Structure 1
Amino acid sequence: MGKALIIGCGGVASVAIHKCCQNSEAFEEICIASRTLSKCDKLKAALENKTKTKISTAQVDANDVEALVALIDAQKPDVVLNLALPYQDISIMEACLRTKTHYVDTANYEPEDTAKFEYKWQWAYREAFEKAGICALLGSGFDPGVTGVFSAYALKHHFDEIEYIDILDCNGGDHGYPFATNFNPEINIREVSANGSYWENGHWVETKPMEIKREYDFQGVGKKDMYLLHHEELESLALNIPGIKRIRFFMTFGQSYLNHLKCLEDVGMTSIEPIEFEGQKIVPLQFLKAVLPDPASLGPRTVGKTNIGCIFRGKKDGKDKTYYLYNICDHQECYREVGSQAISYTTGVPAMIGAMLVMQGVWNKAGVHNIEEFDPDPFMDALNRWGLPWQEDFDPVLVD
């Protein structure tokens, strides 16, 4: 048994907290900390009579390293699970380093003033974490996260060498709004409106936003248009999967979403450059976030399924082989279980699993590591146990 300090109280954090409370055997105690204490207290009140897990709450500014250090010193957790914003990864890592506490997150660091997410800032902590004898597990969500575990599992059990990986992220859910984002609007729109890229033959190939489009028939969802994006796990998988020739990431979008996004871009509402308005500086994208539906409110009205997975091509015993690992998740089933739609669920469950494996010492490697660097088997077993069962296809339709 152990104790986790969970920083953040949004949609993904709520799912992870629900799953920790279901898993009282591992999580004897949790502390929920956020800038808004009332959100933490509300979640505690909803859960504490339904679990053996002891729940406490705290108020903290995740940008304030000294406040984080004081909180960690007071709580003495076995692991800190960072489910705050990607902008806050470095401050939380710094606090974990100072207190010699294990660290887990779901998304890599992104500077607030630059729409660019990459691992270099977090990888810079490798030596310091190793010397401190503590583990930082990066990217324990679904993508990144499960996609990395799937890659490690495929390499361990099905391939001698993986040459091609296509990561396909399909959300077949319908929430009824003309335009809304399924996770933090600011992060979502920054990600989608950035240039795309993929890894091929040892270097990055950059594309214009939404330049490359494919149609794919997803099990449980049907035919969907998907678009090539840059995504952070491409960067770590390119390093950690030997012999890789190409890795691409595709995500599905409906035409209504794309039409609204194009219009918002055209009028400057997706910009992260501050503008002057009635004597105040405002960031258009942050204002847009304030007027869009809160992703946490989408749960009761979202119907349909997600299908997220990886198609692998490579060699086994000298012969060509293809293999598809994926998960199908139902929005309404997630809502009935934890009060959330499947986008938050598919990230929150792996966050709990990663924190559990680090906390229990099953994954115990000092330094800063991406998820595919660990033995995938205990994580794959936990996915089946905790609500994200995976499926296999040994003759998948390939993406051209």
Structure 2
Amino acid sequence: MANVLIIGAGGVGQVVAHKCAQVPEVFEKITLASRTKSKCDKIAEMLPRKIDTAQVDADHVGEMVALIEKVKPDMVINVALPYQDLHIMDACLETGVHYLDTANYEPPEEAKFEYKWQWAYHEKFEKAGLMALLGSGFDPGVTSVFTAYAKKHHFDRIKTLDILDCNAGDHGLPFATNFNPEINIREITANGRYWENGEWVTTKPMEEKRVFDFPEGIGEKDIYLLYHEELESLSKHLPEIERARFWMTFSPNYLKHLEVLQNVGMTSIEPIEFQGQEIAPIQFLKALLPDPASLGPLTKGKTCIGNIIRGSKDGQEKIYYVYNICDHQECYKEVQSQAISYTTGVPAMIGAKMMLEGKWMKPGVWNMEQMDPDPFMADLNQYGLPWQETWLDKPFR
């Protein structure tokens, strides 16, 4: 049994705390820490058993080190902001504890989603005998495991990969983001990018659009090509893939609001001076928008996230579709959170469980697709994210 420290008390942190608390045979002791301790205390009151809470500013390595030395966890589960990943990794190295996150490091001053900063820590973690597991959310995370599972069980060679992320939920508000507004909008307004024939192809934001008929009554939705960080790690670790793309659904209403906000400069990350202070417009916008954690009781409908994989087995071409359907209202009943936070938080718990049970434990910095997918896939079915698989008649173009 293990002692874990969870950093971050937003929507995802709430789910991770809930799910860890549900598995006392693995997570014997839990501490939830955030810059605002009252958020941690509020989450702690919801849980079926007692956990500890603490205050910490994850921007400061010294504060993180002091907290880790006090709590003495076996590992840190980082569900704070991506800007803080390297600070938390440094603190884990200094104190000798394992590390897990759900999103790759992103420099505050630039919308740049790359693993290079964290991959550079591989030798440090390896020499320290510590493991860092990167991107143990849904996408990245489960989508990477889906790919590894398909490769292990269904394909000799994967030729194309398309990751499709559909949120068919409706919260009834004019405009809101389903996770941290700053991260969400930076991701969407950046150029699209996909991997093809050994190089990156760049597109303008929202330039590539398709329509896909999602299963279980979700139906046809507009999907747009984005860049997503798992494409970088998958193209590196499965170099046989000829083309890898990521797609996400957006409603016309969402895109209309986003266009207006972009046109007036509210999505910019460049600081401006206002009344004697410097502020990035997107940070001010974040303060105006609804807190994603508040969307739980409002959101109805389902999500569907999965992979369409084309490849060959024994010389025969096949098209495989593996996906998860998640219901917003069912998630709220269980953990008082909507499905976007749920689909990220559950894999974070499972990834930590894999490490603590020794099923995924080796020194260094690793991505999800580098691990054995089978025990993780089994736990998805057991802990709230059951997956389905089918074979398609025609490729996704």
Q: TM-score range by the shorter chain?
A: over 0.9
Contact 1:198 1:204 in 2 (8 A): yes
- Equivalence for 1:237: 234
Contact kept in structure 2, 1:163 and 1:244, CA below 8 Å = yes
Following TM superposition, by how much is the alpha carbon of 1:25 offset from its aligned partner in structure 2, in angstroms?
1.3
- Specify which of 295, 298, 308 is matched with residue 295 of structure 2: 298
Q: CA deviation at 1:278?
A: 1.2
Aligned pairs for 1:205-354 (under 5 A) are 205-220=201-216, 221-354=218-351
Q: SS of the counterpart of 2:297?
A: helix
Paired with 2:315 and 2:27, the residues of 1 have a C-alpha distance of 45
Residue of structure 2 in register with 1:37 after alignment = 37
Q: Identical aligned pairs, as a percentage?
A: 68
TM-score after normalising by structure 2: 0.99
Q: Distance in 2 between matches of 1:174 and 1:46?
A: 25
Shift of 1:360: 1.9
Retained in 2: the 8 A contact 1:306–1:329?
yes
- The 1-side partners of 2:299 and 2:45 are apart by 25
SS across alignment from 2:267? coil
Structure 2 letter corresponding to 1:12: V
Show the counterpart of 2:137: 141
Measured in 2, the distance between the counterparts of 1:305 and 1:44 equals 27
71, 77, 80: which one pairs with 1:81? 77
Give the whole-Å Cα distance in 2 for the aligned partners of 1:216 and 1:3: 43
- Cα-to-partner distance string for 1:270-326 (whole Å, 9 max, x where unaligned): 001111111111110000000011111111110000000000011101111111110
Supply the RMSD in Å over aligned alpha carbons: 0.8
Q: Which amino acid aligns with 1:69?
A: V
- What CA distance in whole angstroms lies between the structure 2 residues aligned with 1:280 and 1:17? 37
1:14 and 1:397, CA in 2 relative to 1: closer, same or farther beyond 3 A?
farther
* 8 Å Cα contact 1:324-1:396 kept in structure 2: no
List structure 1 segments (4+ residues) > 4 angstroms apart after TM superposition.
Answer: none
Question: Is it true that 1:168 corresponds to 2:134 in the alignment?
Answer: no
C-alpha distance in structure 1 between counterparts of 2:46 and 2:267, whole Å: 36
Instruction: Give secondary structure in 1 for the equivalent of 2:170.
Output: coil
1:261: how far off? Answer: 0.4
Q: Is the 8 A contact 1:311 1:396 kept in 2?
A: no
Q: CA deviation at 1:242?
A: 3.8
Matching residue's letter, 1:10: G
Give the alignment of 1:150-165 within 5 angstroms. 150-165=146-161
Deviations 1:92-120 (A, max 9, x none): 00111111211000000000011111000
1:5 aligns with 2:13: no
- How big is the shift at 1:396? 5.5
Distance 2:304 2:153 in 1: 22
SS in 1 for 2:51: strand
The equivalent residue for 2:355 is 358
C-alpha distance in 1 between matches for 2:174 and 2:219:
21
Residue by residue over 1:9-34, the C-alpha shift from the partner in whole angstroms, topping out at 9 and shown as x without a partner, is: 00001011100111111111111010
Hey, what does 2:24 align to over in structure 1? Answer: 24
Q: Name the amino acid aligned to 1:9.
A: A
Structure 2 unaligned residues grouped into runs of 5+: none
